[in-house]
Amino acid sequence: MSTNDNDTPPEEPKVPEQPPRETGPDAQPGELPAAEAEPRPGKPAAEPAQPHRPVPPVLPVPPAASTRSAEPAGPTEPGEPAGPTEPGEPAGATEPAGPAEPEMTGRQRLAAGLWPLRASRAQLIVALLLFVLGLGLAIQVRSNSDSSALRGARQEDLVRILDELDGRTKRLEDEKQQLEDQRKELESSSNQAEEARRQTVEKERQLGILAGTVAAQGPGITMKITDPRGQVESDQLLDALQELRAAGAEAIQINGVRVVAGSYFSDEGGQIAIDGKKIAQPYEFRVIGKPQDLEPALNIPGGVVQTLEKEQATVAVTRSAKIIVDALRAAKQPDYARSSPS
C-alpha cells in the first residue's frame, strides 16, 4: 500500500478541562489527583466528572396548582390579587385558617331555630285555637274529677245506683217493645182504620198527662221539704225536679202547681215561684212513677237529700201505691205550628 505524504496521523481526542476539585483535605485548587492527571497511552480518556451540586428538595405540588411554576398563583377571592409566593413554597398555598368556631349543642340549635319566630298569621291562629281547646279540655276534666260524688260512695250506694240504671234500661226496653207491638198490630189488623183510631186516642191521653191537661194517678212517691231557716232556693228545687225526671217520673205536682216540660223556677221577694206562681213551704212533691227507682235517685251520695240537709232543711220521702196528680194546666193553642200528615 502506498501512503500519502499529506496524510497526518489522527489526533487524539481532547480532554475537556476539569474544574478545580478537592479530593482531600490537603488538596489545592487547580490540582488534579495523580490518577487523573494524564491519560494512559492507548486508552481513551475517561469522561470528565461532573461537579458536585446540591440536590434541591422535592416539594409537594397541590392538586389545583398550575403546571407552570414560574407563574404566580391566582387570586383567592374575586377582586383581590394574590401576592407572590415565597421561594420553596408551592403555588396556591394559603395561610392557615384561624381557630375553628365551637360546635353548637342540640339545645342551642333548637333555640336558634325557634327564635326569632318566623310563623305566619295562619299558624299563629291555629296555635291559639289549639291552646284554647286544650285549656277547655283541661278545665272540663278537672271539674269532672273534682265534682264526682261517687269517689267516696259506699259499696251499697254504688249497688243501688247500678240498680237504678238497670231499671231505666228496662223501662226503655219495655217502651221499645210496646212500639214494636203497635207497629205489628197496624200491619196485621184487618181493620187498620179502627186500630189506628184507638191508638190515636190512647196517644192523646198519654200526651195530655205529659202536657198537664189531664189528671193522672198511679204509684209513686211523696217528698216533703221543710225549710225553717229559709235557706232553700229555687235552683235546689229545680235540681230535685231534674233528678226525678231522670229516674222516670211521668207526672209531677208541687204545692198545687202542675210541673211540665216548659215550667220554670224563680226567686221572687224571698219566696220561690213556679211559672210565676209563688209557693210557700213546706214544699210537697207528688210524683207518679216507679217508687223503686224514684226514692233511690233522691238518696244517692251527694244527691238531692244530702244537698238539702246541708242547708238545715228536713226531707221526708214516702212511697205510695196510689198518687193523685190533679192540678191541671190550660191547653195552649199554638200560633204557628200545625199538624202535618206523616
- With 50 as the cut, is the pLDDT of residue 249 above it? yes
For 110-131, how does the pLDDT look when each residue is reduced to its tens digit (9 = 90+)? Answer: 777 767 666 678 888 888 899 9
Looking at residue 205, its amino acid is R
Model confidence at 335, pLDDT cuts 50, 70, 90, reads: confident
Question: Which pLDDT band holds residue 314 (cuts at 50, 70, 90)?
Answer: very high
**Residue entry with cell 394559603:** 94
Give the pLDDT confidence score for residue 82 in this predicted structure: 47
Instruction: Convert the pLDDT of each residue in 2-20 to its tens digit.
Output: 444 444 555 555 555 555 5
Residues 278-298: tens digit of each pLDDT: 999 899 999 999 999 999 999
Query: pLDDT tens across 78-122, in order?
Result: 444 444 445 555 554 455 555 566 677 878 887 777 676 666 788
Burial class (CB in 10 A: 0-12, 13-18, 19+), 165: exposed
pLDDT of residue 222: 95
Per-residue model confidence (pLDDT) at position 242: 92
153 Cβ neighbours under 8 A, 6+ residues apart: 161, 300, 301
How many angstroms separate the CA atoms of 63 and 83, rounded? Answer: 19
> Looking at residue 3, what is its pLDDT?
45
Q: Is the pLDDT of residue 235 over 60?
A: yes
The predicted pLDDT at position 35 comes to 45
Residues with Cβ within 8 Å of 183's Cβ and at least 6 positions away in sequence, in order, are none
Residue with the bigger pLDDT between 273 and 80: it is: 273
Q: What is the mean pLDDT of residues 120-149?
A: 80
Rounded Cα gap, residues 172 and 248, in angstroms? 10
pLDDT at 219 over 90: yes
Amino acid 238: pLDDT: 92
Looking at residues 308-322, what average pLDDT do you find?
A: 92
Q: What would the pLDDT profile of 45-74 be if each residue is shown by its tens digit?
A: 555 555 556 656 656 555 544 444 444 444
Q: How is residue 321 written as a grid cell?
A: 201505691
Closest CA to 329 of 164, 163, 182, 216: 216
For residue 7, what is its C-alpha cell?
Answer: 496524510
Instruction: Report the pLDDT averaged over residues 155-170.
Output: 84
**Rounded CA separation 154/161 (Å):** 11
Q: Which residues, including other chains, have CB under 8 Å from residue 213's CB and lie 6 or more apart? A: 328, 329, 330, 331
